[in-house]
Structures are given as C-alpha cells and as structure tokens.
C-alpha cells in the first residue's frame, strides 16, 4: 500500500493514524473527528492536531508534511503531542471541542458549532482573547472525593460522596465562584472554605448536615432547590462568624420559591448586605427541556449577573457556566479524587477540561444563579429577565411586588430524581 500507518499509544490506547499523502489525524476513541491538510501546496499551512476524549481536548501544531510524499515518523508526532498537551493545558484550559484553523474559514470553539461563545455572561468571538482563558479558569473544580469522614445521625461512617454528591459539589463550585467575585480574593484563599473537613464552613459534611434539616438523608442525592436552601443557611451562619471575611462583607442568599422573583425584597437585602446570591429553582418541562425554553437558558447565562446554572441529566448534576449555539459548557464533578484536606492538594481543585452537552439532553429541573452587588444591578437584571420572559406564552419566571409570604418561603423541594436507589446511599466502614 502507498499509505503508511503510524500507530501511537497514550495511556494504553491507540490515538493517531497518519495517512499520507494527505496527512490526517484520527482519534479512535469516540468522539471521532479529524483535521486534514489542504491538497493545494500553496494553501498548506502548519496543521493543528486535535485529540478529544472523556477527559477533555488538546491541540498542538506543527507541519506534518512539506510535500505529498513525505512520511511522518511516529516519534515526531508523539513528541509534538506531548509538548502540545502541556502548552494546551497552560494556555487554553482544555475547552472541549474542535477548533478548525484555516485561513479561509472561521474558527470554532466547539465541535459542530459556530458563532461566539459565552462564558459567565461574557461573549467572546475569538479564543485568543485573554479574558476568555481567564474566565475559563475562574471556576474552581470540586468533585467526588474519597477517604474523608462523614458521620450520619445513626452513627454510620461515610468515606466517599461518589454516586450521590454531585449536586453538593456543584453547589460548592457555584458558591466559590460567587465568593471570588464578592470578596475579590484569590482562588487559593477561597478553596480552604470548601475542604472535606467538618471545620470548613462549606464542606461536604456541613452541606449534608444542613440537608437533613430539609428532609434529605446524609448520603442521598439533593434536588437543586435543596442545595439552594443549604447554601442559604451556611452563608448566613458564616455572616455571623466574627472570624470570617463575610462578617464584614456580608452576602445574602435569596432563594426564589415557585420561580417568583420579588424585586422589593432584593432591594431590602442589598441595603444591609454587600452582595446577593439570587437562586431560582425552576422546571422547564416534564421529561426534557421544552425547545421553546432553549433561548431562556442561554439568555440567563448571557446576563452580566450570572454565576452559572446547576443542572445536568437525571441523577447526574453538572455546573453550567456558558454556551455556544445550543451546546452548554459545563464543569463535571463526576471524578473521584482523594479527600481535599490541606492546601498541599490545591492542584486537585483545578480542572483543565471543559465539556459540552446539547440543551436537548439536560434535565428540565435546574437552578438559575445570579450575583448582585448594587441596586442598579438588581434593576438591570429584572429588566433583562422581564424582556426575556415576554417571548413566552407561559413564562418560566414571575415578578411580584412586595415580599413573599411564609407559605412561599416554606416551599416544597421539587426533586425530579426522587427514584434514586436507596440501597446505594451509603459507603460504610
């Protein structure tokens, strides 16, 4: 055969095949895609190699072939891949998807999508924008952990939250993102508040204990509305702690039951707090998100006040921070690491990878999240959301004058995943 094949191995899996005279790279593990050099030598440029897998994507560049007949040694591609992987992690944050580089075509952030990408309310038209890389890194990664100690009321010991703690971890990511903006502190300072120890203010232990007060057993999956109420209680407690920075720059957590927003209450809260974390549990359909609400999700993620959305798939919570087209960009808590107990393991809270999922595949139950630090920001957000809701015959949000009644405050959790198998709730030692 005129074609030569170079098979390379990385982590035990075949990655690349090179087929001259038109060099093409394939990733044999799904998803499958490739980039190919132009046949016209005049238009041939340095080719970008792409690799994508469950853990993320990497890109690297270098000329594969000067002429059609040139063969590319496998070691050369492997060395380039190793070097490119390191650079990609440092400069890109590993945004999942395909980036097509061609002088005559546009660049894409996500495979199969075109147009700008939005991250935490900021729109970017080009991946070289330094603010884009900064926003990708602004989300601290909290994921499943093992080898910590969590006691249940009946004396059982749980050592891992794998299988049930994804909403808890998404709540930690949301709160850490919010506190970084609210307190204007470095990420390394903030993450200590989320260590897997009962003394940390926003640890998995404290979140679970608060969940018990709202009818969720320790080791049981949370509904989005449950994590909202737990964060409310924990932040309020930290506001009252004299040793906490929140005692000076107080943060109010406002949970809007029944998707009803009370602007008067928000103005009342901002008068006595430095900022507000506004949490709105909503449901956008029965079994799946109705297509008419796609623009509502993207509209909420486009507002300057957004700090993301907690949602995902049934029994599989994700933290959404942006989108491109109809693809939502998320940080995934479903990886088990050793317990985060000291600042020595700070690196385990940095996720270099971002992945995406079509809006059509997510669960309709989710939590809209916004941060507000001034009365003008409250008015701006309310105006933006009202304008967005005018598109719908059945708006997903309502705006009510005055203050919520006690019956509104004591709402009932809407858990779309109540069918969890209780037999797998605990890991016992």
Q: Which residues are catalytic?
A: 166, 332, 334
C-beta contacts of 183-188 below 8 A and 24+ residues apart: 183/245, 183/246, 183/249, 185/245, 187/138, 187/140, 187/349, 188/343, 188/346
Decide if 333 contacts 317 (C-beta within 8 A): yes
Can you spell out the DSSP letters for 313-342?
Answer: ETTEEEEEEEEETTEEEEE-----EE---S
Residue 356, Cβ neighbours under 10 Å: how many?
23
Which of 382, 373, 184 is closest to 277 using CA atoms?
A: 373
Find out whether 427 and 159 touch, Cβ atoms under 8 Å. yes
Tokens linked to 424? 């797998």
Helix-, strand-, coil-residue percentages of the chain, each rounded to 5: 30, 20, 45
Nearest to 370 by CA among 359, 360, 358, 378: 378
Q: Helix or strand or coil: residue 105?
A: coil
**What is the rounded CA–CA span in Å between residue 92 and residue 80?**
17
What's the CA gap between 51 and 28, in Å, rounded? 10
Beta bridge partners of 251: 275
Q: Round to whole Å and give the CA distance between 24 and 72.
A: 11
166 burial level (CB within 10 Å; 0-12, 13-18, 19+): buried
CB-based contact 236:210 (threshold 8 Å): no
């Amino acid at each position: 055969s005129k074609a030569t094949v170079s098979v390379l191995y990385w982590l035990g899996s075949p990655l690349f095949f090179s087929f001259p005279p038109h060099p093409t790279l394939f990733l044999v593990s799904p998803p499958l895609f490739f980039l190919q050099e132009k046949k016209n030598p005049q238009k041939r440029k340095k080719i970008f190699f792409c690799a994508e897998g469950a853990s993320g994507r990497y890109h690297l560049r270098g000329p594969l072939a000067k002429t059609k007949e040139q063969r590319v040694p496998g070691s050369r591609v492997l060395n380039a891949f190793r070097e490119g992987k390191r650079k990609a992690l440092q400069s890109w944050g590993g945004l999942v998807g395909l980036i097509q580089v061609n002088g005559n075509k546009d660049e894409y952030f996500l495979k199969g999508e075109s147009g700008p990408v939005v991250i935490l309310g900021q729109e970017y038209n080009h991946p070289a924008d330094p603010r884009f890389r900064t926003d990708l890194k602004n989300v601290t990664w909290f994921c499943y952990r093992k080898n910590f100690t969590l006691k249940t009321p009946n004396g059982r010991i749980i050592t891992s939250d794998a299988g049930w703690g994804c909403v808890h971890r998404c709540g930690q990511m949301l709160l850490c993102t919010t506190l970084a903006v609210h307190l204007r502190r470095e990420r390394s300072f903030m993450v200590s508040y989320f260590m897997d120890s009962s003394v940390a203010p926003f640890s998995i232990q404290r979140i679970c204990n608060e969940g018990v007060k709202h009818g969720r057993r320790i080791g049981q999956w949370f509904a989005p509305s449950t994590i909202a109420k737990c964060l409310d209680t924990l932040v309020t407690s930290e506001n009252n702690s004299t040793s906490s920075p929140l005692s000076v720059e107080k943060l109010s957590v406002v949970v809007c039951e029944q998707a009803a927003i009370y602007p008067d209450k928000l103005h009342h809260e901002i008068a006595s707090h430095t900022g507000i974390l506004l949490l709105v549990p909503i449901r956008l359909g029965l079994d799946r998100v109705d297509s008419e609400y796609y623009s509502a999700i993207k509209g909420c993620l486009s507002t300057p006040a957004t700090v993301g959305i907690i949602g995902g798939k049934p029994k599989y919570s994700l933290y959404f921070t942006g989108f491109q087209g109809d693809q939502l960009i998320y940080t995934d808590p479903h990886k088990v690491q050793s317990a985060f107990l000291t600042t020595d393991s700070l690196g385990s809270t940095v996720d270099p990878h971002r992945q995406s999922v079509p809006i059509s595949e997510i669960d309709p139950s989710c939590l809209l999240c916004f941060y507000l630090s001034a009365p003008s920001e409250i008015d701006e957000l309310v105006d933006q959301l009202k304008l967005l809701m005018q598109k719908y015959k059945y708006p997903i949000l309502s705006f009510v004058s005055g203050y919520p009644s006690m019956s509104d405050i004591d709402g009932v959790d809407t858990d779309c995943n109540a069918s969890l198998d209780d037999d797998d709730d605990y890991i016992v030692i």
